[in-house]
Amino acid sequence: MKRSPRAALALALALLPALPLGGCVNDDVHLYEVTLRGEIQVPRGGPYSGHVHLELRHARSGEGGLAYPLRRITTIELDGVGPFEETFLVPTDEGEGLVAYAWLDRDGDGLLCAPGTSDELAGLREVDGFPAHALEVTILLEHPCAGAEILYAP
Amino acid sequence: MSRPWWLIPCALLGLTCGEGGGYGVDYDGTWIPVIDMHLHPGDWDAIPPETQTFLASRFPFPLNLRPDRTADQVLSATGIVGELDRGGVHVGVLFAVYAPRTVGVATNELVEAGVAEYPKRLLGFASLRVDDWASAGEGELDRLEEALAEPGMVGIKLAHAHMHFRMDDPSYFGIYELAGRLGKPVYLHTGSSSFPGIALEPAYTDPAYLEPAIAAHPQTIFILGHLGYDFVDHEIGELETCIELAHKYGNVYLEPSALGSEGADPSGENYPTILRRIREEGLVDRLIYGSDGPQSPGFVGEYLERTVTAMERAEYSADDARALLSGNFIKVFGAEAGQ
């Protein structure tokens, strides 16, 4: 539909008072450095091979009816299961709490359980103690094909 | 771009166009009623701030100066019926949405109220929250069933990418069981999206991951929204997977909303290509029309025009066009939709 030029002009004039007079406002992003140390474990007997995808998420974000869990902060790839130590920058204005979620990419396709695959394991743990600059977590990968959402109870 | 006169919905011109009291389109000399099965009501305050900014950037000047006012005007039931009138659409279907991290929340109650206000023009799809499924899932299913018992509530809306749950996770299959038991089709967003906060991994967007659910629930109708379109890169995406699923399972239907919009298909080539592929595959009897409006003032009618143009380019017959624009919806949803 095309609006007539006169109608568009009238609408523009009617809305002119709504123009912000102060220009743009750029929000600061507040980042909090966290060094996370811990271990990715699998059940006794493996599987052990494959890279591990480790995601750091906020436990809670939003307010009221728009509150939700597990806002993603970042994802990194580890060489495999076992001990790790990584440093993250956590945006403190976007949520509260920290959750670590990981899964083992056994076939190396970058996908947790592509169609027809059912033997890739995932695990999730809430990271206690945030905010603090040094935190520890151990994640046991024991749930086949599980997304973070089904492993976390807000 | 000039428009053939017969593409312009009569309501837009303020004319009475015979059958349908001004609604519908004339396609190849045949008058066809139109049902738009994909519309989003809501209010500005129930949209996350990042998405408010995103939406405001898409409103044309001068409507972007007060996006809250623009949104509230077009997202109310009255606003949506106004958009249907302008676009020449007989009946619209309102979707409830519980996606607080992306598009926000439009409650079942909001949709029920809209349907109650315009019972001859609007139907509704209910939805549910899934973000505390382990402890709240049973309660959410009960709430969903209650919503579906309300007049005019004819289906279930899901969007795994927006709601962040895997398409193949059997923990959520109770939703499909409920849908089958109640005879309420399920609409599923497939494909990517450019909204902030979306889950873009294939398990949340690729319809191939829906196959276990489709296979396990033959009594449930699955409507694959957007046909797996890639809204990030404006590419056809997972269309062939949708076609394969529709061939393999009689309970799969296809819905081409939003993918043919000016923003999603800038070249104008993808939409007719998609419709042509579906015709070539003999699947026009599975296509159900939706726009994904209202988005911004005029979008509902504009998308209908683009659909008619795409159908013409894809060499759809008048019977094909009728099937897409209303016939298949009436076939799936029964007499409720024909009121």
Ordered per-residue pLDDT tens for chain B, 339 residues: 333 333 333 333 333 334 556 799 999 999 999 999 999 998 888 888 888 888 888 788 888 888 888 888 889 999 999 999 999 999 999 999 999 999 999 999 999 999 999 999 999 999 999 999 999 999 999 999 999 999 999 999 999 999 999 999 999 999 999 999 999 999 999 999 999 999 999 999 999 999 999 999 999 999 999 999 999 999 999 999 999 999 999 999 999 999 999 999 999 999 999 999 999 999 999 999 999 999 888 999 999 999 999 999 999 999 999 999 999 999 999 854 444
Phi/psi at A126 (5° precision): -75, 135
User: What's residue B130's pLDDT?
Assistant: 97
Rounded distance between C-alpha atoms, residue B227 and residue B209, angstroms? 13
Decide the pairing of beta strands B252-255 and A134-140: unpaired
Q: Which of B62, B197, B297 sits opposite A12 (nearest CB)?
A: B62
Which pLDDT does position B327 carry in this prediction? 96
Three-state SS at A86: strand
Q: Answer for the pair B36, B90: CB distance below 8 angstroms, yes or no.
A: no
- Calculate how close chain B gets to A19, using CA atoms only, in Å: 6
Contacting residues of B for A69, CB less than 8 Å apart = 131-132
Q: What pLDDT does A47 receive?
A: 85
With residue A144 as reference, give the H or E element that holds it: strand A143-144
A3 to A88, B4, B308, B309, B339: CA distances (angstroms) = 50, 18, 21, 21, 32
Query: CA–CA separation, A110 vs A99, rounded Å?
Result: 21
Chain A residues whose CB is inside 8 A of the B65 CB are 12, 15-16, 18-19
Residues B62, A153: C-beta atoms closer than 8 Å: no
Chain A residues with CB-CB distance to B101 below 8 A? 61-62, 68, 71
Both structure tokens of B184? 């309420």
pLDDT value for B57: 82
Helix pair angle (B49-56, B67-75), 10° resolution: 90
**Helical residues (DSSP H) of chain A, grouped into ranges:** 5-15, 148-151
How do A121-127 and A143-144 pair as beta strands? antiparallel
Give A85 to chain B, closest Cα distance, Å.
26
Q: By the 8 A CB rule, do B126 and B157 touch?
A: yes
Q: Give strand pairing partners of B225.
A: B189, B255
B74, A55, B108, B311: which is closest to B66 by C-alpha?
B74
Average pLDDT estimate for A46-54:
93
Note the pLDDT of residue B58. 77
Per-residue tokens: A146:
């599980």
Determine the distance in angstroms separating the CA of B117 from the nearest CA of chain A, rounded to an integer.
24
**pTM, full prediction:** 0.89
How far apart CA A53 and CA B58 sit, in angstroms, is 35
Q: Is A73 on the interface with B (CB under 8 A)?
A: no
**Are the beta carbons of B87 and B300 closer than 8 angstroms?**
yes
- The pLDDT assigned to A39 comes to 98
d(CA B161, CA B99): 9
Q: Note whether B28 and B318 are within 8 A (CB).
A: yes
What ipTM did this prediction achieve?
A: 0.86
Choosing among B45, B110, B164, which should be mutated to test the A contact, i.e. which has the most A CBs within 10 A? Answer: B164
Contact between A1 and B302 using a beta-carbon 8 Å cutoff:
yes
User: Using CA atoms, how far apart are residues A79 and A84, in angstroms rounded to an integer?
Assistant: 9
Question: Measured between CA atoms, how close is B229 to chain A, in angstroms?
Answer: 19
Q: What is the CATH number of domain A31-151?
A: 2.60.40.1120
* Nearest alpha-carbon partner for A57 in A91, A87, A103, A105: A91
Tell me the pLDDT tens digit for each residue of A64-101. 999 999 999 999 999 999 999 999 999 999 999 999 99
- The angle at the Cα of B97, spanning B96 to B100, to the nearest 5 degrees, equals 150
What domains can you pick out in chain B, each with its CATH number? 32-338 (3.20.20.140)
**What is the reported pLDDT for B20?**
54
CA distances from residue A113 to A98, A103, B168, B212 in whole angstroms, order as listed: 25, 10, 9, 13
Do A71 and B197 make contact, defined as CB atoms within 8 angstroms? Answer: yes
Please list every residue in chain A whose beta carbon sits closer than 8 Å to the beta carbon of residue B100: 62, 65-68
Which pLDDT score is estimated for B211? 98
How far apart are alpha carbons B258 and B243 in whole angstroms?
A: 18
Taking 80 as the threshold, does the pLDDT of residue A23 lie above it?
no
